[in-house]
Structures are given as structure tokens and as C-alpha cells.
């Protein structure tokens, strides 16, 4: 891992220390796609990295015609994947904004996912992209045994993805988000699914953090003693388990898993485990994510407050 030391300023870009991805993002903003092709091609055998890179590149390309142009000029599995990602982002934005074209954009995105999947049958990323659209379609497949609330959802699609990659990070997070109340689910269903997915993951997996993600999602800052929730034994045990079993693995990562580290640092700090939170912040280096800090207030302010509580430096406010 190449996070390095904190040198006075946060780096908010989701490329973090993936320099190949960062260069590709610069090229996308300039209307060029060659480096995107290389970044995605180089990640063909690392499904987690391919998912992350394609999503970040799509966020850069969504407001331009680069994805459509690339697919038209050089059709292939990389251009088809980026087009699927871009089409899905546009469909979700339209739905969230109650755009009258949302239905059409959703159908375009679904077709783009199908095309990308046909071009790369062993790649779970097109199917994960399709999973992002599930909250628009609200499938109601029956849940497997073992869940108290037995919430219906896109279980069939999720199962297909797991056959391609059993511990796919984004797939688990997308699947969990389907059950969030803001996406048409409920708090009880989200808790149930988060516990189910987290418990079945290996102890050294960042997927063990999923219950903490649900906890942040359901956080209500206006409720009495809401900030004391993380001090409850089950949440402290979840955070400390990830600290003991997952954090030691992070040193072997090729790139810094910023968002997962942020959720862990946040949970430890809120659980009054400042000593354990400190090395998690150190592993993040200068890289920052807006979640989960934005749930508590302005992200940079909350992140700096958390670092100061652990005796760590923060950017100069001058």
C-alpha cells in the first residue's frame, strides 16, 4: 500500500493513490479515452479494482459524450463497460431528480449492462452495474433462510454475481443499499441484510464492516443520545473485530481502501476507541472520503475533529 504520510492537506479524489486511475481521470476530462482503456484492461483479473476504476471513470465521463464516442469508435469490453457505468449513473440521477426521461434512461442502462455482460461473461462488473439499477425496478425475489425479516429483493441477481466473485465488495454494498429506507426499503430490512452479509464474510474481509455502514445510514442526529449508539457492545465488537482481523491485511493492499478505512476509523472513534482509531487514520494517509463524515456534518470539519481527537495533524485552516 502506498498511502504515505499526511503532509498537511486532504486528498478527496476517489482515485486516491491509484496513479494510473488518476491519470485516466485527467484524460477523461480532456475528452481522451486511451488511458481509460489501459486502466480497465490492466484490471481485468482484479474484479474489485475493475469495479472501482470503472465507477470512478464513469463519474468523470457522465456529463460528456466520451463513453458513447469511445463505444462507437472502438467497441470492446472496456468501452462497453464504461458505457454501462455511465448509462446507469445517468439513469439513477434522472430517477432521483424525478426527470420525465428516467424510464427511458433506465431501459438504456439495462441494455448497456446486458451488452457489457455478453462481451465479458466472466466479469461480474456489468452485473454489479445492473444491480445498481435494482432500486428503480424493485425486484421481489424471496430471501433465503436465515433472515428474520426475510426481505424480498434482487436476490437472484446478487446470487449470480457471487458465483462469479463470492466476496465482491461493491456488489455487497450495492445489494445492502437496496434495502435502505431512502431507496424504498426499511431500517429493519437493512439491519437484517447487513448482519446476514457481514456474518457470512471471512473475519479478515472488509465486508465485516457492512453493519457499520448500515448504522451510519440509519443515523438520526436529532435523536436523544444518537452519538452514543456506537458505544453499544455489538457495534464496538464489530469495529474492534475489523481492527484486529482486517486492518493488518491493509498493508498488503496495492491501493489504499479509503472508504472502508474511514468507516472503521469513524466507528472506533465514536465507540471511544481513540487508541485503535489512530493507526486506522495513519493507514489512510492524506486520502479522505466524504462518507461517513458527512452524516455528522461538514465532511472536512468532522474528519479534522476526529483526527484531532486522536492526536493527529489536520490541515492548516489559514
Q: Percentage of the chain with pLDDT > 70?
A: 97
- What's the confidence (pLDDT) of residue 151? 97
The CA distance from 238 to 272, in Å, is 14
Average pLDDT, integer, range 216-226: 80
- Alpha-carbon distance of 315 to 2, in angstroms, equals 20
Q: Counting beta carbons within 10 angstroms of the beta carbon of residue 118, is it exposed (0 to 12), middle (13 to 18) or buried (19 or more)?
A: exposed
Residue that wins the pLDDT comparison between 311 and 220: 311
What pLDDT does 70 receive? 98
* Structural contact between residues 286 and 15, judged by C-beta atoms closer than 8 angstroms: no
pLDDT at 101: 94
Q: What are phi and psi of 180, to 5 degrees?
A: -65, 145
Give the Cβ contact number of residue 251 at 10 Å: 9
Quickly state the pLDDT bin for 3 (edges 50, 70, 90): low
Which residues, other chains included, contact 261 with Cβ-Cβ below 8 Å and sequence gap of 6+? 250, 280, 281, 283, 284
Does the pLDDT value for residue 119 go beyond 60? yes
- The Cα–Cα gap between 201 and 207 comes to 6
pLDDT of residue 224: 64
Report residue 78's pLDDT band, with 50, 70 and 90 as the boundaries.
very high
What pLDDT is attached to residue 82?
Answer: 98
Could you tell me which residues come within 8 angstroms of residue 73 by beta carbon, excluding any fewer than 6 positions away? none
- Please tell me the predicted confidence (pLDDT) of residue 4: 55
Tens digits of residue pLDDT in 19-45: 999 999 999 999 999 999 999 999 999
For 245-303, write each residue's pLDDT tens digit.
Answer: 999 999 999 999 999 999 999 999 999 999 999 999 999 999 999 999 999 899 999 99
Amino acid at each position: 500500500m502506498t498511502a504515505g504520510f499526511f503532509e498537511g492537506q486532504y486528498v478527496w479524489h476517489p482515485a486516491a493513490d491509484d496513479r494510473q486511475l488518476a491519470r485516466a481521470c485527467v484524460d477523461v476530462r480532456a475528452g481522451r479515452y486511451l488511458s481509460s482503456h489501459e486502466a480497465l484492461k490492466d484490471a481485468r483479473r482484479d474484479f474489485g479494482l475493475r469495479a472501482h476504476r470503472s465507477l470512478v471513470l464513469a463519474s468523470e465521463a457522465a456529463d460528456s459524450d466520451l463513453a458513447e464516442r469511445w463505444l462507437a469508435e472502438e467497441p470492446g469490453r472496456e468501452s462497453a463497460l464504461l458505457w454501462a457505468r455511465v448509462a446507469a449513473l445517468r439513469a439513477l440521477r434522472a430517477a432521483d431528480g424525478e426527470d420525465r426521461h428516467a424510464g427511458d434512461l433506465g431501459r438504456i442502462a439495462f441494455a448497456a449492462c446486458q451488452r457489457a455482460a455478453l462481451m465479458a461473461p466472466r466479469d461480474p462488473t456489468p452485473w454489479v452495474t445492473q444491480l445498481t439499477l435494482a432500486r428503480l425496478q424493485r425486484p421481489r425475489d424471496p430471501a433465503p433462510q436465515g433472515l428474520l425479516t426475510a426481505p424480498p429483493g434482487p436476490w437472484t441477481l446478487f446470487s449470480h454475481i457471487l458465483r462469479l466473485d463470492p466476496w465482491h465488495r461493491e456488489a455487497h454494498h450495492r445489494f445492502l443499499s437496496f434495502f435502505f429506507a431512502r431507496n424504498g426499503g426499511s431500517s429493519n430490512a437493512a439491519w437484517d441484510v447487513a448482519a446476514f452479509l457481514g456474518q457470512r464474510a471471512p473475519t479478515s474481509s472488509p465486508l465485516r464492516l457492512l453493519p457499520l455502514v448500515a448504522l451510519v445510514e440509519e443515523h438520526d442526529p436529532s435523536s436523544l443520545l444518537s452519538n452514543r449508539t456506537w458505544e453499544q457492545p455489538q457495534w464496538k465488537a464489530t469495529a474492534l473485530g475489523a481492527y484486529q482481523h482486517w486492518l493488518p491485511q491493509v498493508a498488503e493492499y496495492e491501493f489504499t481502501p479509503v472508504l472502508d478505512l474511514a468507516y472503521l476509523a469513524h466507528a472506533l472513534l465514536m465507540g471511544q476507541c481513540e487508541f485503535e482509531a489512530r493507526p486506522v487514520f495513519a493507514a489512510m494517509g492524506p486520502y479522505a472520503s466524504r462518507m461517513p463524515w458527512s452524516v455528522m456534518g461538514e465532511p472536512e470539519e468532522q474528519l479534522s475533529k476526529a483526527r484531532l481527537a486522536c492526536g493527529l495533524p489536520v490541515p492548516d485552516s489559514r
